[in-house]
Amino acid sequence: MVFCGRVNPITGALDWIEEDENYDYHQEIARSSYADMLHDKDRNKKYYQGIRAAVKRVKDRGEEAVVLDIGTGTGLLSMMALTAGADYCYAVEVFKPMADAATQIVKVNGFGDKIKVINKHSTEVTVGADGDMTRRANILITELFDTELIGEGALPSYEHAQHNLMQERWEAVPHRATIYAQVVESHKLWSWNKLLPMQLESGNLEPPYEMQSCPGAPSVCDVQLSQLNPRDFRPLSDILVVFRVDFSKQVSSSPASHIVNFTSLADGSAQVVLSWWDIDMDPEATIICSMKPSWLYPALHAAPWRDHWMQCVYFLPEEKKVTQGEEICLIANQDDYCVWYNMTNSRTADGSLTDSPACRCGAHITWNRARFGELNDQKRMDKYKEALKTILMPSSVCLCVSDSSLLPILAHSVGAAQVFTLEPSSLAHQLMDKILQTNNLKNKIHILQKSPDKVTAADLGERKVTALIGEPFFTTSLLPWHNLCFWYSRMALSEHLAKDCTVLPMSASLYVLAVEFKDLWRTRSPCGNCEGFDVSIMDEMIKKSLDFRESQEAEPHPLWEYPCRALSDPTKLLTFDFRKKIPTEEMKAEGSLSLVRSGVCHGVVLWMEYQLTEDISISTGLLQLSDETGSCQWYPHRKQGVYFFNYLWNLGLAPTDCHSSVTYNLMFNPQQGDIRMSFIPKS
């Protein structure tokens, strides 16, 4: 056992936790996407068809089929190659636990003498009598792709392998990849990237120029575009072929730009590029594995679900007004790991590579996309504004405790005499300072670059705080209850609060709902037999990892991307009253959830609801529930907690209609700021 230092996201304290020395390894296995990939029948089927065709092409030339499988994972594709008639396979896997698992899996399936698992990065593999490979391969199989296609270093890996590990002529599976893009206008998506003007009591809150002109974050926004309503964007271009990569020819990882000219379909503001890719498994493109979103499939054709590959949202460096019929040039730039886009008039495009976007304003470093969306949610901010109107007076001394919050500005706009806000982070302090300066509020709202326990009476002008406010939101929070940090901050500030100090929100309540997921359960379901191969060793590894403390608890997921049905009614478990001191005794909740709808109960969802005032509340989870179907609408700007049942592993798949309730036992430990939980389905 070893001691690991971790910052407690609720209390803010550094906790020393005793963990197994293999803790990080078990967490990596538990959080991996291997189950998701193995359950992706469309992917597996297309890969096998492509492998079988490649082996046949080599055999038809009278050659032995020698396969190099880079990133073999469980060894599934290598075993497919041997089944398809390949003579030998070198399976390369850099992650040692997976390489060990692959070694066992290929032996269990009877391929131990025909598949050599090499635990190295492919660029370290050697060829020769004493090398890792005794001969070069003539079939290259890879699954090195991510949502962006090239984000896991596929291009340099291909480049090295083709130069050093392959024969002069080789077949590749997949054979080629095609990147697609569509330019759109979307207020919803754009609000994930820029701070937009916000309506106040007296005019608008305007974002600083540095934010408006900032090109944004360099990283792609990967998302389940299938869950985005097509009404949330307006297409300004057709679906465009941006570039292709032919894996049967020498690949280059050198930076490049790709010019695509198109005619604008409508008047609008070009803001966002939606993108995805297809891979052709054979030269004739008769076997295609596509990542396109569901709304591009025929009405009666269900899109294959996968979470290991999604779709991309790229934000243009600045929005550009276009008119219908205008000739426009979209420029895709790529290096060996990333893609980024620019747009210009087709007559001025010169094809030169532009620099990758980098945040200059600090906002894209401080806030993630969901936080941008939350700050731009006018309906949500209106609720806070109405709540603040009921508690603030001209004489109020207001202190805000939330990271990078606009509540201090709302408090000032409704008439608070003095407003203070805590921003312990220097970057967040600079960011808020820019916003205040742009809106002539710098002398009216005071930013304290301090944690709550470091605030002094002098910082507050020797005045007591009469209104303590928060959203609450903290950048260190992963799970919904981590924002109970607000309660601990309130206790740290106790000596500075007036006796009749109003606290907003008044309280927070933890809710739970038993659900049936449409697809998300696949990431936690065992594979056992996959495409005719025994991969149960992988199941055992993941099950063992899930037995570790942290993996038995809830996981954060943005459920607006993952549809589910409610099988129970939403139930309040615990209420935390911020107007009172944190209790010294543990808070407990025990009981059961009755399942009022039939279905497969995969687990429960947990979220927080905040009571701002007696009449105004905010939910960070369930927004709407259909009584008839049980379909759920989830708050899109926060992640909800998902607790999967372990019986998915005990029984293989959750049995239908065999449970009538879910018993629960939760315990909140005030000293540790931790919630321990147990949920068990009962017949």
Model pLDDT for residues 145-156, shown as the tens digit of each residue: 999 999 999 999
Q: Which segments of 358-449 are extended strands (E)?
A: 397-400, 418-422, 445-448
Residue 263 has pLDDT above 50, yes or no: yes
Reported as a pLDDT band with limits 50, 70 and 90, residue 682 is: confident
CA distance 662 to 621: 20
Q: pLDDT digit string (tens) for 154-194? A: 999 999 999 999 999 999 999 999 999 999 999 999 999 99
Residue 63 belongs to some domain of the structure: yes
Reported as a pLDDT band with limits 50, 70 and 90, residue 26 is: low
CA distance 145 to 418: 53
pLDDT of residue 301: 86
Cα within 13 Å of Cα(652), Cβ side: 5
pLDDT of residue 653: 42
Q: CATH code at 666?
A: 2.70.160.11
pLDDT of residue 652: 42
pLDDT of residue 647: 60
Together in a domain, 500 and 511: no
Together in a domain, 449 and 585: no
Indicate the residue among 305, 335, 363 that finishes a domain: 363
pLDDT of residue 27: 58
Indicate the residue among 152, 173, 194 that finishes a domain: 173
Together in a domain, 94 and 230: no
In contact, 166 and 248? CB cutoff 8 Å: no
- 418-422 contacts: CB < 8 A, separation 24 or more? 418/446, 418/461, 418/463, 419/444, 419/445, 419/446, 420/445, 420/446, 420/447, 420/448, 420/459, 420/460, 420/465, 421/445, 421/446, 421/447, 421/448, 422/448, 422/450, 422/451, 422/452, 422/455, 422/489
pLDDT of residue 549: 46
Instruction: For residue 639, give the DSSP letter.
Output: P
CA distance 516 to 654: 10
CA distance 432 to 473: 15
Residue 393 CA to chain centroid, in angstroms?
41
Structure tokens belonging to residue 228: 């985005």
In contact, 27 and 548? CB cutoff 8 Å: yes
Q: Please, what is the Cα angle at 440 between 438 and 445, to 5 degrees?
A: 105
pLDDT of residue 646: 74
Residue 402 belongs to some domain of the structure: yes
Residue 136 has pLDDT above 80, yes or no: yes
Residue 649 has pLDDT above 60, yes or no: no
Together in a domain, 123 and 198: no
Total of domains in the chain: 4
pLDDT of residue 37: 87
For the beta carbon of residue 454, count every other beta carbon within 10 angstroms. 12
Together in a domain, 153 and 187: no
End-to-end CA, the chain: 38
CA distance 609 to 617: 7
Together in a domain, 457 and 548: no
CA distance 39 to 304: 11
pLDDT of residue 611: 98
pLDDT of residue 651: 41
Q: pLDDT digit string (tens) for 349-360? A: 676 788 888 999
User: Between 32 and 222, where is the model more confident?
Assistant: 222
Residue 347 has pLDDT above 70, yes or no: no
Structure tokens belonging to residue 266: 């409508």
Q: pLDDT digit string (tens) for 562-597? A: 999 999 999 999 999 999 999 999 999 999 999 999
Reported as a pLDDT band with limits 50, 70 and 90, residue 284 is: very high
pLDDT of residue 550: 46
Active site residue 143: yes
**Mean pLDDT across the stretch 226-250?**
97
Q: CATH code at 495?
A: 3.40.50.150
Together in a domain, 555 and 616: yes
**Mean pLDDT across the stretch 266-279?**
98
Q: Please, what is the Cα angle at 327 between 324 and 332, to 5 degrees?
A: 115
Q: Report the mean per-residue pLDDT for the chain.
A: 92
In contact, 503 and 468? CB cutoff 8 Å: yes
pLDDT of residue 551: 47
3-state secondary structure at position 113: coil
Task: Kindly name the residue from 63, 152, 210, 553 that is annotated as catalytic.
Answer: 152
Together in a domain, 195 and 164: no
Q: Please, what is the Cα angle at 290 between 268 and 305, to 5 degrees?
A: 95
Q: Identify the domain containing residue 487 by its residue range.
A: 377-504
CA distance 233 to 236: 9
pLDDT of residue 654: 44
Residue 372 belongs to some domain of the structure: no
pLDDT of residue 10: 82
Reported as a pLDDT band with limits 50, 70 and 90, residue 643 is: very high
pTM, whole model, 2 decimals?
A: 0.93
Together in a domain, 497 and 561: no
Which residues, in sequence order, are CB contacts of 274 under 8 Å at separation 6+?
Answer: 181, 182, 184, 225, 233, 293, 311, 312, 313, 314
Task: Kindly name the residue from 93, 143, 148, 471 that is annotated as catalytic.
Answer: 143
Q: pLDDT digit string (tens) for 447-470? A: 999 999 999 999 999 999 999 999
Residue 24 belongs to some domain of the structure: no
Together in a domain, 236 and 167: no
pLDDT of residue 650: 47
Residue 377 has pLDDT above 90, yes or no: yes
Active site residue 171: no
Q: H-type helices in 523-622, by residue range? A: 536-546
pLDDT of residue 655: 44
Structure tokens belonging to residue 271: 């803001």
Q: Which segments of 505-597 are extended strands (E)?
A: 507-517, 529-530, 533-534, 555-557, 564-566, 571-577, 587-594
CA distance 605 to 511: 8
Together in a domain, 623 and 656: yes
Residue 6 belongs to some domain of the structure: no
Q: Which segments of 578-636 are extended strands (E)?
A: 587-594, 603-611, 617-619, 622-625, 632-634
In contact, 551 and 545? CB cutoff 8 Å: yes
Q: pLDDT digit string (tens) for 396-433? A: 999 999 999 999 999 999 999 899 999 999 999 999 99
Residue 579 belongs to some domain of the structure: yes
Residue 371 belongs to some domain of the structure: no
Together in a domain, 561 and 467: no
Reported as a pLDDT band with limits 50, 70 and 90, residue 508 is: very high
Q: pLDDT digit string (tens) for 190-236? A: 999 999 999 887 788 999 999 999 999 888 999 999 999 999 999 99
CA distance 85 to 63: 12
pLDDT of residue 2: 42
In contact, 199 and 378? CB cutoff 8 Å: yes
Residue 18 has pLDDT above 60, yes or no: no
Bridging pattern class, strands 88-92 and 66-70? parallel
Structure tokens belonging to residue 389: 């109107």
Residue 43 has pLDDT above 50, yes or no: yes
Residue 25 belongs to some domain of the structure: no
Q: pLDDT digit string (tens) for 306-316? A: 999 999 999 99
**Residue whose C-alpha is closest to residue 136's, from 174, 94, 88, 102:** 88
Indicate the residue among 144, 173, 202 that finishes a domain: 173
